[in-house]
Each structure stands twice: as structure tokens, then as C-alpha cells.
Chain A
Amino acid sequence: MRHKLIALAMLVSPSLKRAILLLLMLSSAVVAVEDVVSFSDESLRPRYQQLLEELRCPKCQNQNLADSNSAISQDLRAEVQRLLERDLSDDEIKEYLKNRYSEFILYRPQVNRATWFLWAAPIALLVLGGLILLGLSRRQKHRHSEKAGTTMRSDDQQQRLEALLGSQKRGSE
């Protein structure tokens, strides 16, 4: 039915043609659904998402820019978008915001004099743990070999000792 009307209208007048084309463009079947946030280059979008997750909303109770609905978060999201369009790198954008909102806004703490302990401690702990494991396993090996080793004893004692050790070894393995 629509097709027939359109065909009829097309025959009638140019302005009507224009009007119909406009209507067609506005009908949802033809128009693509838009992203709320659009980029000139789609490759910016994953960077945008990533940055929003790494930046903190300055006034919220611990939320990132992606999840917060506060006014400042909306503004900062727009700002991040603007900066991405201006071709700044991720680090430059973070630096830009850090200069205005202090390092508080960075969820990934920078590595500097104030945070060296924060970044080094877990690694140090793992190393320490590894050393303890090594140390213990060496001590255990030592204990094993100690049990096997003997000191100077009389032959008789030696025989009895060996007999005892022999049975103990068999029993414990």
C-alpha cells in the first residue's frame, strides 16, 4: 500500500518527492541506530572505554567514569572524548586530567617515589615466599640425607643401627 502511494506521489511533484524521501529517511527501518557517543574513528572507542574504566570520578564514593552518573563524570567523559579526537595518546590524556584533578583521578597509581612500595611489595612477597619454599625443601632434603648418614659406631651398633634404619626407611616410604 505504501509503495503504491509513493509511486503515485512521485508522479505528482518534486517537492512532494522530497518530502517523501525525507519521511522515508526518518522511518526507523532505514535509519541506523546511533551510538550515544560517536567517534570520527571507531578505533578510538575501545581506548575510550578503557580510559573511562581507569579514571576515577572525583566526587563519587569509589566509582569510575564509566559507571558514574554524576554531572562531573558526564563532563569528564565528554572531555576524554574530546581529547581522543584531538589525537592525544592515552598517557597524555591521563596526564592532562591528572594536572587538573591530581593523581586521585587515576585508578592505576603511577610508579613514583610515593608509590614504589605499593608496586614493589607484592613482588617482594612472592620472591620471599619462593625463597621460603626453596629453603624448606632444601632443609627437608637435608633431613632425608641426614637420616641416611651415619657416624662412627662399633660394628655391632652399626649393624643394629642399619637394621633399624632399614626398617624405618621401608616403613616411611
Chain B
Amino acid sequence: MNRLTLFIPFALCLALGTFLFFSLDKDPLDLPSALVGEPFPEFVLEDLSDPQRQLSSDDFDGQVVLVNVWATWCFACRIEHPWLNSLAAEGVKIIGLNYKDYRELAQAWLQERGDPYQFSIFDPRGTLGIDLGVYGAPETYLVDAEGIIRHRRVGVVDERVWNEEFRDLYKQLMDAANAP
């Protein structure tokens, strides 16, 4: 081996170390949604509160909305719910997606804790969930007025998360939607 090749291991070690250093603040399980930039999936499902009423993405077309995936078996959803209530009170339109749940339990849950949703989609088998790439509740999607998914958050959306991840984008989309 000549003089210069002896330095190759050292150089590789430095390169690797740099990568490892920058990887320390990345979360390996924080998956970006495959649907960001894509239209909200088509679906035909019942309204949670009214089994006769069929819902589809047309029902929130033309508006900037949050779609929040929730369920009564999800503990973290209880933590995030108060913030959703306050968002709704401020005028943010939120659509609920009741994921793999029981209708009666879900309705009772909302009655107990307040209903921030325009309406909740009843998805007992998780079919819309799979089309969205949902893998656990709570999840929240930001959909623009054209029906394109712009952001997804897996986990609780509280005040901090709203401010960091959603607020600015939401304002931007609202302005774009309201502009003539």
C-alpha cells in the first residue's frame, strides 16, 4: 500500500462520523406522507352521526380543512382534543375521520368531549385510512381548497405543533383560497 491509500480508512471514518453526527437529530420513525402534493383520496363512507348520509371528498371541496384521524381507543387523541376544540372555535374547519371504531362509542365520546368537527367520516374498516397511509391515531392532514394534501402530522397536534408546523401554511392557503 502506498502512502496515500493508507489515509483512505481515516477519510472514510471522517465521512461516516459526519453523517452519524447529522443523523442524531433525525427521527427514523417520522415518516413523511407519500400523499403530500397529491389529491385527497376518493372515498364514499357514512357520516358518523347520520348513517343515511354518504360522504365523499366533495363535501369539503373548495375549503381549506384539517382532516383529523381519531378514535375512542386512542389515548393521545384525548390529549389533543381540547386544542382541536379551540382551533374550531377560532374558525378552523376540521373534518374528523373516525378510524376503526364503534359508532355508538364514538358518538358518546364526542358528546362528552366536544365536537370540533364539521362532520366525522365513519371508517370502521380503515379503508380510507389505508388509502391515506394512516398507521395509527392521531394523525392530522392539512388539505387545501383544491383538495390537495399539503402536510401531515403523525401524533398529537397541540399548540406548539400547530404553531411550528401548521399555522403559517394554513394562513398561506387560506389567503390563496380567499384571494379572487
Direct contact of A and B (CB under 8 A): yes
Chain A residues near B (Cβ < 8 Å): 58-59, 61, 71-72, 75-76, 79, 98-102, 104
B132 adjacent to A100 (CB under 8 Å):
yes
A58 adjacent to B35 (CB under 8 Å):
no
How far is B134's CA from A59's CA once the two chains are assembled, in angstroms? 10
How far is B139's CA from A59's CA once the two chains are assembled, in angstroms? 13
Most chain B C-beta atoms within 10 Å of own C-beta, residue among A59, A99, A100: A100
In-complex Cβ contact of B100 among A58, A61, A71, A104 (8 A): A71
B31 adjacent to A104 (CB under 8 Å):
yes
> Which A-B residue pairs are the 9 nearest by beta carbons?
A102-B34, A58-B135, A100-B133, A72-B135, A59-B135, A101-B133, A75-B126, A59-B136, A104-B31
Q: Which residues of A contact B131 (CB under 8 A)?
A: 100
CB distance from B17 to the nearest CB of A (A): 18
User: Does any Cβ of A come within 8 Å of B29's Cβ?
Assistant: yes
How far is B132's CA from A68's CA once the two chains are assembled, in angstroms? 21
Q: Which residues of A contact B134 (CB under 8 A)?
A: 72
- A100/B130 contact (C-beta < 8 A), A58-B135, A59-B135, A59-B136 known: yes
User: Does any Cβ of A come within 8 Å of B32's Cβ?
Assistant: yes
CB-nearest residue of chain B to A102: B34
User: Does any Cβ of A come within 8 Å of B85's Cβ?
Assistant: no
Q: Which residues of B contact A101 (CB under 8 A)?
A: 31, 34, 133, 135
CB-nearest residue of chain B to A79: B130
CB distance from B2 to the nearest CB of A (A): 12
CB-nearest residue of chain B to A61: B29
Q: Which residues of B contact A104 (CB under 8 A)?
A: 31
Query: 30 A–B contact pairs at CB < 8 A?
Result: A58-B31, A58-B133, A58-B135, A59-B29, A59-B135, A61-B29, A71-B100, A71-B136, A72-B134, A72-B136, A75-B126, A75-B130, A76-B130, A79-B130, A98-B34, A99-B34, A100-B34, A100-B35, A100-B130, A100-B131, A100-B132, A101-B31, A101-B34, A101-B133, A101-B135, A102-B31, A102-B33, A102-B34, A102-B133, A104-B31
Please give 8 more A-B residue pairs, beta carbons under 8 A apart, in addition to A100-B131, A102-B133: A58-B31, A58-B133, A72-B136, A75-B100, A75-B129, A79-B130, A102-B31, A102-B33
Q: B25-40, CB under 8 A of A: which get 1 and which 0? A: 0000101111100000
Q: B13-57, CB under 8 A of A: which get 1 and which 0? A: 000000000000000010111110000000000000000000000
